[in-house]
Structure 1
Amino acid sequence: MKRLSLPRRENRRQVVYDLLLWVLLSVFVAAMGPDPVVDPAAFGVVTAPRIALAAVAVLVGRRWPLAALTLLLPLGPWRFTDGFATVDLTWLLPRRDVKIFPLLATSPYIMWYAYLTGRRMVRMWPAAAAFCLIAVVGVGVVLAKGGDLALWVSMVTGLVGTYLVPYLLGLLRRRLLQQRRQARLSAEAQARLRERARIARDMHDSLGHDLALIAVRAAGLELAPGLDPARAKAAGELRVAAADATERLRQIIGLLRDDSDASPLAPVDEDVAELVRRAEDSGMSISLEVAPGPPPALARAVVQEGLTNAAKHAPGAAVRVSVAPHRVAVRNEPARSRPTARPGGLGLAGLRERVRLAGGTLTAGPADGGFELAVEIPRTGEEHPRGSGRHRQSDARSSGA
Structure 2
Amino acid sequence: MSALSQRREPASVRHSAKVIDGALAVLTAVIFVAVALAAGVRSPWDGPVPVIPLALFLGALLFVRRRWPMTVLLLSIAAIFAYHLPAPQSPPGWIWPIWAAYFTAAATPRVRWVAAIGVAQLVYSAVDFRWVIDRNMTHYLIHTVGEALLLAFIIGAGLLYAASLRWRDRLRETDGRVRAAEERLRVAQEVHDTVAHTLAVVGVHLNVAADTLEGVPAEAAAALRLAQDVRNRAMADLAALIDVLRTSPTGTAPQPDLASLGALVADARATGLDVTLDERGDPSAVPATCAVAVYRVVQEALSNTLKHSGATTAEVTVAYQPDSVSVEVVDNGHGTPGGAGIREGHGLAGMRERVSALGGTLTAGPVPGGFAVKACLPLADSSP
TM-score, normalised by the number of residues in structure 2: 0.52
Q: Equivalent residue of 2:314, what SS?
A: strand
Q: Is residue 2:302 matched to residue 1:307? A: yes
User: Is the 1:205–1:267 Cα contact (8 Å) retained in structure 2?
Assistant: no
CA distance in 2, matches of 1:377, 1:344: 16
CA distance in 2, matches of 1:299, 1:185: 33
Residue 271 of structure 1: CA displacement? 5.5
CA distance in 1, matches of 2:169, 2:336: 56
CA distance in 2, matches of 1:360, 1:344: 12
CA distance in 1, matches of 2:329, 2:105: 67
Q: Is residue 2:182 matched to residue 1:194? A: yes
Kindly provide the CA deviation profile for residues 113-171 of structure 1, in whole angstroms up to 9, marking residues without a partner as x: 2122123x12533333233323322332344653623112122334445x445444544
Q: Which amino acid aligns with 1:209?
A: H
Q: Is residue 2:111 matched to residue 1:124? A: yes
Residue 312 of structure 1: CA displacement? 3.6
Gaps of 5+ in 2: 1-20, 34-39, 239-244, 246-254, 320-325, 338-342, 379-384
Question: Which structure shows the bigger proportion of residues in helix conformation?
Answer: 2
Match among 78, 81, 89 for residue 74 of structure 1: 81
Q: Which amino acid aligns with 2:196?
A: G
User: Is the 1:322–1:330 Cα contact (8 Å) retained in structure 2?
Assistant: yes
CA distance in 1, matches of 2:198, 2:83: 77
Q: Which amino acid aligns with 1:321?
A: A
Q: Which amino acid aligns with 2:144?
A: M
CA distance in 2, matches of 1:269, 1:280: 18
CA distance in 2, matches of 1:277, 1:77: 91
User: Is the 1:306–1:331 Cα contact (8 Å) retained in structure 2?
Assistant: no
Aligned to 2:138: 149
Q: Equivalent residue of 1:328, what SS?
A: strand
CA distance in 1, matches of 2:132, 2:279: 99
Aligned to 1:374: 372
User: Is the 1:118–1:167 Cα contact (8 Å) retained in structure 2?
Assistant: yes
CA distance in 1, matches of 2:127, 2:144: 10
Alignment of 1:150-165 (within 5 A): 150-161=139-150, 163-165=151-153
Alignment of 1:278-293 (within 5 A): 278-281=267-270, 283-288=271-276, 290=278, 292=280
Q: Structure 1 pair 284/225, CA: closer, same or farther in 2 (3 Å)? A: same
CA distance in 2, matches of 1:223, 1:331: 24
CA distance in 2, matches of 1:354, 1:193: 14
CA distance in 1, matches of 2:335, 2:161: 69
Match among 112, 130, 142 for residue 100 of structure 2: 112
Q: Which amino acid aligns with 2:103?
A: Y
CA distance in 2, matches of 1:188, 1:71: 44
Q: Structure 1 pair 166/154, CA: closer, same or farther in 2 (3 Å)? A: same
Aligned to 1:89: none
Kindly provide the CA deviation profile for residues 229-264 of structure 1, in whole angstroms up to 9, marking residues without a partner as x: xx99xx9xx99xx9xx9xxx9xxxxxx9xxxxxxxx
CA distance in 1, matches of 2:119, 2:100: 19
The CA RMSD measured in Å over matched residues stands at: 5.7
User: Is the 1:299–1:323 Cα contact (8 Å) retained in structure 2?
Assistant: no
Aligned to 2:191: 203
CA distance in 2, matches of 1:351, 1:167: 54
Aligned to 1:363: 365
Q: Which moved more, 1:110-119 or 1:348-357?
A: 348-357
Q: Which amino acid aligns with 1:181?
A: D
User: Is the 1:73–1:134 Cα contact (8 Å) retained in structure 2?
Assistant: no
User: Is the 1:286–1:321 Cα contact (8 Å) retained in structure 2?
Assistant: yes
User: Is the 1:319–1:333 Cα contact (8 Å) retained in structure 2?
Assistant: no
Q: Which amino acid aligns with 1:74?
A: F
Q: Equivalent residue of 2:212, what SS?
A: coil
Alignment of 1:307-326 (within 5 A): 307-313=302-308, 317-323=310-316
Q: Which amino acid aligns with 1:278?
A: D
Q: Structure 1 pair 195/318, CA: closer, same or farther in 2 (3 Å)? A: same
Q: Which amino acid aligns with 1:140?
A: V
Q: Structure 1 pair 76/201, CA: closer, same or farther in 2 (3 Å)? A: farther
Q: Structure 1 pair 176/81, CA: closer, same or farther in 2 (3 Å)? A: farther
User: Is the 1:320–1:330 Cα contact (8 Å) retained in structure 2?
Assistant: yes
Gaps of 5+ in 1: 1-16, 84-101, 250-255, 257-265, 337-342, 381-401
CA distance in 2, matches of 1:81, 1:287: 99
TM-score, normalised by the number of residues in structure 1: 0.50
Q: Is residue 2:329 matched to residue 1:328? A: yes
CA distance in 1, matches of 2:173, 2:117: 34
Instruction: Say how many residue pairs are matched.
Output: 283
Percent identity for Structure 1 against Structure 2: 23
Aligned to 1:224: 212
User: Is the 1:66–1:114 Cα contact (8 Å) retained in structure 2?
Assistant: yes
User: Is the 2:333–2:371 Cα contact (8 Å) retained in structure 1?
Assistant: no
